[in-house]
Amino acid sequence: MKNIFTIIFIALVMILGTLACSSSGNSNTAQNNIKYEKIDVSDAPLKLQETIEQVKKKKGYIYYTENDSDYIYVAAGEKPTGGYTVEVLDLIENKNGKLTLTVRFTEPGKNDMVTQVITYPYALIRFKAIDKPVEVIDESNDKLPQLGQ
């Protein structure tokens, strides 16, 4: 009889543990992925290209809208060599209506052979215009400053 109660108790603990771990959490964190395309600066509107040229030495982002497209340019700033990158991880619309772009900054390894020239790593995306506030964060959840305001 004692074994049956022990088995039932363990089963209940496992079921409750599973339910607790699978709860949806805060409803404000629900999100929708936004489709985007990566583009080169030369494919961006001229006004955005001019702004990028003015701020490319700084780390941060530009949010720009023209016609029916939104653009987000993310810069790593001026770097002493090649081998640095900016990678877009995702663009989501939170349930609270904010767009969040998450990026990853990488740098060359200690023993990597890299170009010995100053570089300005960036990522530039274009997506259908959405009238929402934007934030850009890195994978550590640190917010990037908006440039060119």
Q: pLDDT for 21-51, tens place per residue?
A: 544 443 445 678 999 999 999 999 999 999 9
Q: Is residue 143 part of a domain?
A: no
The pLDDT score that the predictor gives to residue 149 is 65
- The tally of domains found in the chain comes to 1
| pLDDT score for 11 | 61
User: What is the distance, to the nearest Å, from the Cα of residue 59 to the centroid of all Cα atoms in its chain?
Assistant: 14
Residues ≥6 apart with Cβ < 8 Å to 82: 108, 114, 115, 116, 117, 119
Higher pLDDT, 148 or 45: 45
6 is a domain residue? no
Per-residue pLDDT tens digits for 84-137:
999 999 999 998 889 999 999 999 999 999 999 999 999 999 999 998 999 999
Question: How buried is residue 87: exposed, middle or buried, by Cβ count under 10 Å (0-12/13-18/19+)?
Answer: middle
* 73 assigned to some structural domain: yes
Does residue 43 sit within a domain?
yes
Question: Is 40 a member of any domain?
Answer: yes
Contact 38, 125 (CB under 8 A): yes
Q: Tell me the C-alpha to C-alpha distance, in Å, between residue 125 and each of 46, 65, 101.
A: 15, 12, 10
Residue 145's nearest CA partner among 20, 36, 61 is: 61
Strand order in the sheet with 37-38: 37-38, 122-128, 69-76, 59-66
Domain range for 36 is: 30-138
What is the percent of the chain with per-residue pLDDT over 70, rounded to a whole number?
79
Q: Which of these, 78, 66, 91, 64, lies nearest to 149 by C-alpha position?
A: 64
| DSSP-assigned beta bridge partners for residue 90 | 102
Residue 23 lies in a domain: no
